[in-house]
Amino acid sequence: QGKFTLLRDTRTDGSFLVHHFLSFYLRAGCKVCFVALLQSFSHYNIVAQKLGVSLAAAKERGQLVFLEGLKSCLDLVFGEEEQPGQPSPLQFLSTSDLRALFDFVRVSLTPAEGDSWKGPVLLVDDLSVLLSLGAAPVAVLDFIHYCRVFVCYQLKGNIVVLVHSNEDSEDEENELVVNSLCHHSNLILWAEGLATGFCKDVHGQIKIIKRLSLRQAAEQDLVQIYQYKIQDRNVTFFARGLSAAVL
Amino acid sequence: LVFTEEDKYDLYSSLLFKYFLAEGIVCGHDLFVASAKEHPDNILKELPAPLLDDTCGKELGDEAAAVKPEDFQDSMKIAWRYQNLPKMEASPTTHTKFGHYYDVSKKMSPELCQSAKWRSFYLHEELSFEPKMKTCNMNSGYARLLQSIQTIISQEGFDGSDPQKKQRNVLRIGIQSLGSILWGDDVCCSDTPEDAHSLTKFLYVLRGLLRKSLSACIITVPSHLIQNKAIMERVTNLSDMVVGLESFIGSERETNPLYKDYHGLVHVHQIPRLNSLICDVSDTKDLAFRLKRKLFTIERLHLPPDLSDTVSRASKQDLAGSAKLLSSGCGAMAMGKKHLDF
């Protein structure tokens, strides 16, 4: 309850973690607000079906609130003038102000009368896109802070956010956001491509960092490293060097 | 959204661009060509002619036959572990019938060109046209291009908005040299461009348009000119597939004996992972291209056999260095070696 999980990827695509958390929380009966900035609804729907969850059905019964960034962006750019009372959540494209996005999250996750869902969850895929679209890094951090106060502290819900990072990255704004988020996360799942290059049997390595040092000053963070291979409906994890291809 | 990083002199990337458009014509798709550099009419006049099935099969068949010498069939005595590896198939076999092949030495016939429905966008002709959309602080050239694409998609029903239209077609969009100074963007000129977000906003809106309609898009970008690498990273994240072409012209690799058969390397930076957890994982990602008189081929990079008696120390180190980069290419090298030099 009240946890902030950071998904991070380097040299590889960490979106399989997003699909996992989405189906995990929906199956657990939580109310999920998914801010999907990079892919269309049908992409997530098709993968979720393979994982055993129907996003369309979840949307119908009000368990899932889905913000399809690409579609909202088109409505904003090519659509008619918006009503003054209802700013588009993607308004930051023209104004660089993320408040409308936060209002969207707040309205979606505020528990309504007769709601019986367990704990609200905010899922964001992915945060680095906000920087590409003109938001300042401080604005992005403020947005996350507001969301944290609202979702984690007030509603005792969870937040899961995906960011991209690269070693030797020249994108300083992105690195600033990622480093700052790392310091404030309770759990970091870091998917990295193998340092030795591309491999068919081992798609990457995942580092699980449990930030125990946040709870108590003297505690050390617990770090576990596994390697993984992504399959059509599943991801298999194994200890380093013990991939099925080698054994 | 296929994003291609241009090679330095833009020889090979424009070839790839033309292949994409030619394939569209042959398949009967609609085309939309945008450029700020040369008029789209000229681009379309230079598309390669498609090879007819029987000539194509014969050409490839000849090549494949020449490549299989008999001594590969002998069982290996020392390097017997390599026997089990599949033979290195460098060029596509005649069994793969996906797509068409083109003859680069001939131009596509004007009748075939005319038969396709295509639209063009030449930036310098469109300057007077005011976009109706909200530009969101985007460069005006990009905004006009987006407006033009969106108009075509909605008018011609590529987004399924017209239920009357029974036959749905695919729109192939080709945009040449995006980000160059000709589009009015100074991303290629300075380290801190005036508007660093124009290109990325453009790509985001374009991505939205592509997802909403039956279209595919190829963009070529002179990435070697873009000084600000942060923008390249962001652009990579916003694209589905990113391919870089590195030609050997003018670089020291041109005279390197390792690469003597090839004209350049193909770097696959990102492959699309759409509608699925997994993505296409081929055996190797080391690819090189070469432009023969008639064909432009992309092959797996494999080292030529080290047959000479006096191999200098420098090239041996090069070989060792490259062998580290290759994942499964070493099999071919071992098979070809006649003199094992320990």
CB atoms B205 and A50 under 8 Å: no
The chain B residue lying nearest A95, using CA atoms, is: B136
pLDDT 10s digits, B267-281: 777 777 776 666 655
> Is residue B21 within 8 Å of residue B173, measured between CB atoms?
no
Min mean pLDDT across A55-59, B153-157, B235-239 is at: B153-157
Residue B197 maps to a domain: yes
- Phi, psi torsion values for A68, nearest 5 degrees: -90, 100
Q: Report CB contact under 8 Å: A128, B137.
A: no
Burial of A220 (0-12, 13-18, 19+ CB in 10 A): exposed
pLDDT score of B162 = 61
Average pLDDT, chain B: 63
Q: B275 to chain A, minimum CA–CA distance in Å?
A: 4
Number of separate domains in chain A: 1
**In chain B, which ranges are continuous DSSP H helix?**
12-27, 40-45, 53-67, 110-115, 140-155, 198-212, 229-238, 313-325, 330-336
- The pLDDT tens digits of the residues spanning B139-154 come to 777 888 888 888 888 7
For residue A58, tell me if it sits in a domain.
yes
CA distance A200 to chain B (A): 6
- The closest of A55, A27, A57, A31 to A112, measured between CA atoms, is A31
Angle at B323 between CA B317 and CA B327, to 5 degrees: 165
For residue A244, being part of any structural domain is answered with: no
- Residue A149 belongs to some domain of the structure: yes
Q: Which residue of A has its CA nearest to B143?
A: A77
Chain A residues closer than 8 Å to B136 by CB: 76-77, 93-94, 134
Say whether the peptide bond before residue A126 is cis (omega within 30 degrees of 0): yes
Q: Is B137 in CB contact (< 8 Å) with chain A?
A: yes
Domain that holds residue B15: 2-50+100-300
Winning range, highest mean pLDDT, from A109-123, B85-99, B259-273: A109-123
Predicted model pTM:
0.77
- In which band, very low, low, confident or very high, does the pLDDT at B108 lie, cut at 50, 70 and 90? low
Contact check, Cβ <8 Å, B237/A233 = no
Under a CB-based contact definition with an 8 Å cutoff, are residues B244 and B232 in contact? no
Q: Does residue B20 lie within any of the structural domains?
A: yes
The verdict on residue B332 lying in a domain is no
- Tell whether A48 is covered by a domain: yes
B134 pLDDT tier (thresholds 50, 70, 90): low
Domain-embedded: residue A226 = no
- Would you tell me which residues 230-249 of chain B have a C-beta closer than 8 angstroms to some C-beta of chain A? 230, 233-234, 237-238
B274 touches chain A (CB under 8 A): yes
Distance CA A236, CA A203 (A): 10
Which comes out higher in pLDDT, residue B340 or A36?
Answer: A36
Tell me, what's the pLDDT at B131? Answer: 61
Instruction: Using CB atoms, pick whichever of B136, B234, B274 lies closest to residue A77.
Output: B136
For residue A219, pLDDT beyond 70? yes
Residue B13 has pLDDT above 60, yes or no: yes
Q: B91, B296 in Cβ contact below 8 A?
A: no
Query: Per the domain annotation, does B190 fall within a domain?
Result: yes
Let me know if residue A213 belongs to a domain: no
Assess if residue B219 is contained within a domain. yes
Q: Which of B124, B238, B237, B226 is nearest to B185 (CA)?
A: B226
Q: Which residue of B has its CA nearest to A196?
A: B325
pLDDT of A95 higher than 60: yes
The predicted model gives B197-214 an average pLDDT of 84
- Given a cut of 80, whether residue B318 has pLDDT beyond it is no
Quote the CA–CA distance of A208 and A228 in Å, as a whole number: 12
Q: Is B229 near chain A, with CB under 8 Å?
A: yes
- For residues B22 and B237, is the Cβ–Cβ distance under 8 A? no
> Rounded mean pLDDT of A15-31?
88
Can you tell me the mean pLDDT for B191-199?
A: 72
pLDDT band at A141 (very low <50, low <70, confident <90, very high): very high
List CB contacts (< 8 A) between A129 and chain B: 204, 237-238
Residue B293 falls within a domain, yes or no?
Answer: yes
We report the CATH number of the domain holding residue A99 as 3.40.50.300
State which residues form the domain around A104: 3-203
Instruction: Report the percent of chain B where pLDDT is more than 90.
Output: 0
Q: What average pLDDT does the segment A112-127 reach? A: 82
- Compute the C-alpha angle A73/A74/A75, nearest 5°: 90
Q: Which residues contact B25 (CB under 8 A, 6 or more apart)?
A: B31, B47, B108, B112, B113, B115, B116, B118
Q: Calculate mean pLDDT across residues A18-40.
A: 88
Q: Using one digit for the tens of pLDDT, what is the confidence trace for B27-81?
A: 656 666 666 666 666 666 666 666 554 433 344 434 433 433 333 344 444 545 4
Is there a domain that residue A218 lies in?
no
- Report how many domains make up chain B: 1
Mean pLDDT score of chain A: 83
A137: in domain: yes
Which CATH number is B38's domain given?
A: 3.40.50.300
Consecutive H or E run containing B173: strand B171-175
Residue with the bigger pLDDT between A103 and B341: it is A103
